[in-house]
């Protein structure tokens, strides 16, 4: 059973969205006119909006359109962020374990090469002594 929002509430939300978009657009225009390299922090100060507002899809689109941010800077919203995070953590743990094994193998190989180097230096020293 889905509930419909009243038309008055939907209109109020749309008006608030438009006002926010207009405030961001005005701030972008002013900052560009002043020669600033626009950053979210500057927009927050100029508009008085919180950081979370700039992650909303309608504002993010405005920022992308005016090349304030690239599409890859802001994280995409997913339907189930908890599952993505768990899967990402599991993948990272696997990668970390593989890298730890690789590091351990490299450390062992390094120790072996150092011993071999010491032996070769000893042989070289003995050969140099025989020649002199």
Domain match, 103 and 82 both: yes
Contact 23, 47 (CB under 8 A): yes
Neighbours of 61 (CB within 10 A): 12
For residue 1, tell me if it sits in a domain.
no
Number of domains in the chain: 2
Contact 51, 71 (CB under 8 A): no
User: Distance between CA atoms of 28 and 68, rounded to whole angstroms?
Assistant: 8
Domain match, 17 and 51 both: yes
pLDDT tens for the chain, 132 residues long, are 456 778 888 889 899 999 999 998 888 888 888 887 888 888 888 889 888 888 888 888 888 888 777 655 444 444 455 555 777 788 888 999 999 999 999 999 999 999 999 999 999 999 999 998
What pLDDT, on the 0 to 100 scale, is given for residue 72?
53
For residue 73, tell me if it sits in a domain.
no
User: Distance between CA atoms of 95 and 88, rounded to whole angstroms?
Assistant: 11
Domain that holds residue 38: 7-65
């Amino acid at each position: 059973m889905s509930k419909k929002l009243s038309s008055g509430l939907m209109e109020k939300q749309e008006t608030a969205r438009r006002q926010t978009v207009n405030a961001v657009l005005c701030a972008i225009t002013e900052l560009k006119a002043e020669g600033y390299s626009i950053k979210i922090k500057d927009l927050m100060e100029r508009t008085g909006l919180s950081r979370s507002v700039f992650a909303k899809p309608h504002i993010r689109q405005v920022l992308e359109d005016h090349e304030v941010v690239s599409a890859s800077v802001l994280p995409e919203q997913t339907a189930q962020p908890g599952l993505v995070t768990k899967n990402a953590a599991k993948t990272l743990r696997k990668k970390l374990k593989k890298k730890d094994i690789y590091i351990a193998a490299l450390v062992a190989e390094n120790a072996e090469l150092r011993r071999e180097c010491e032996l070769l230096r000893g042989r070289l020293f003995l050969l140099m002594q025989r020649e002199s």
